[in-house]
Structure 1
Amino acid sequence: MTERFDIILKDVTALLVNELSEHLTYHSVNHILYVFKKAEHIALNEKASQKNVFFVEIAALYPDLRFMNIREGHEAESCKITKLQLVDYNFLKEDIDVICEAIMVTKVPQNPTSHLGEIL
């Protein structure tokens, strides 16, 4: 999982660096990496399974991916990109659905329906 995660992190970070405006002060690469680290920390402290920690890490990278194109509803657009990309990384459909469910929880107001969503 670590090797696959490293590739995903590199690809998503490159996409964010290339597409997010550097004038954004909140939805920035630094914000996304901060959320990723905090979500990972919480998942580990909650003693989530290795698989669920991995899913939380992935989900934390993607919510703001489409923010540069669409402000309202960017989470749903980010899920569309997530689904396309994670298929390329050989994720199972049911795993992608779990990750996208966690991504959608980031939409305000938050209403988590799963433990992963609560962590994120």
Structure 2
Amino acid sequence: MVFEEIKKKIYEDILEKLPSHLTYHNLAHTAYVLDRAVFLAEQSKVSSDELELLRLAALFHDTGFIESPKDHEERGCKIARSYLAESYSEEQLSLICGMIMATKIPQNPQTELEKILADADLEYLGTDLFEEIGESLYKELKHSIPDFSQQAWDELQLAFMEKHHFHTDYCRQNREPKKQENLLIVKKRLGFV
């Protein structure tokens, strides 16, 4: 199958069927990560074969949410294998799963492709979309934890962002400065600045 056919099938079979309370881990997020992964791959000059595997990993990286948020990366790997086993070698499937697993928090990507997908998944931290995308994640968490306050969310973001670091040269150079500005916004809301 060609990528566009696989993408259409995954959108229809899984991503469009994700529960509506997933305001962050949804079809729009997958499309965003796919777009950013392709962009970052272009900055890193990956081969066309590597790009194909990267695009597949981006497509499947959050499909595990159809079953459960817990260990969704492992579930996403199983789903990817079930859809791709006839068309891709075991070596290719292992590379795809390695990239999916690289998005697991805390991120620990090893290869260049894993670093690209890990950064694509959290690239918004260093963009002007930080507040908007962050709000969608807050709403999703609030669905599971109804008494989750804005202050608790900001405290969680602060701790997360202080530990997070980008892995690709592009994001370190072009997203880290804006991430620091966004971190300052959170610190101000918490009264730390």
How high is the TM-score relative to the length of structure 1?
Answer: 0.92
Bigger Rg over Cα: 2
2:89 partner letter: L
Question: Does structure 1 residue 93 correspond to structure 2 residue 90?
Answer: yes
The residue aligned with 1:35 is: 33
The residue aligned with 1:111 is: 108
The answer for unaligned runs of 5 or more in structure 2 is 118-193
Shift of 1:19: 2.4
* Secondary structure of 1:31 counterpart: helix
Shift of 1:110: 0.3
Moved more, 65-74 or 48-57: 65-74
Shift of 1:70: 1.2
1:103 partner letter: I
Higher relative helix content? 2
Distance 2:85 2:63 in 1: 17
* CA-atom RMSD in angstroms: 1.2
2:84 partner letter: L
| Alignment match of 1:82 (pick from 42, 55, 80) | 80
Distance 1:71 1:58 in 2: 20
How high is the TM-score relative to the length of structure 2?
Answer: 0.58
Deviations 1:24-59 (A, max 9, x none): 110010000000000011001211000111111110
* Secondary structure of 1:67 counterpart: helix
Shift of 1:18: 4.1
- Kindly indicate whether the alpha-carbon contact (under 8 Å) linking 2:73 and 2:100 is maintained by their aligned counterparts in 1: yes
* Secondary structure of 1:51 counterpart: helix
Distance 1:18 1:35 in 2: 16
- Kindly indicate whether the alpha-carbon contact (under 8 Å) linking 1:66 and 1:74 is maintained by their aligned counterparts in 2: yes
| Alignment match of 1:54 (pick from 52, 55, 65) | 52
Shift of 1:84: 1.2
2:92 partner letter: D
Structure 1 segments of 4+ aligned residues over 3 angstroms from their partners: none
The residue aligned with 1:10 is: 8
* Structure 2 CA distance for partners of 1:74 and 1:17, relative to 1, 3 Å: closer
Shift of 1:16: 2.7
* Secondary structure of 2:104 counterpart: coil
Question: Does structure 1 residue 25 correspond to structure 2 residue 23?
Answer: yes
- Kindly indicate whether the alpha-carbon contact (under 8 Å) linking 1:16 and 1:29 is maintained by their aligned counterparts in 2: no
| More RCO (CA 8 Å, sep 6+) | 1
1:40 partner letter: V
* Secondary structure of 1:83 counterpart: helix
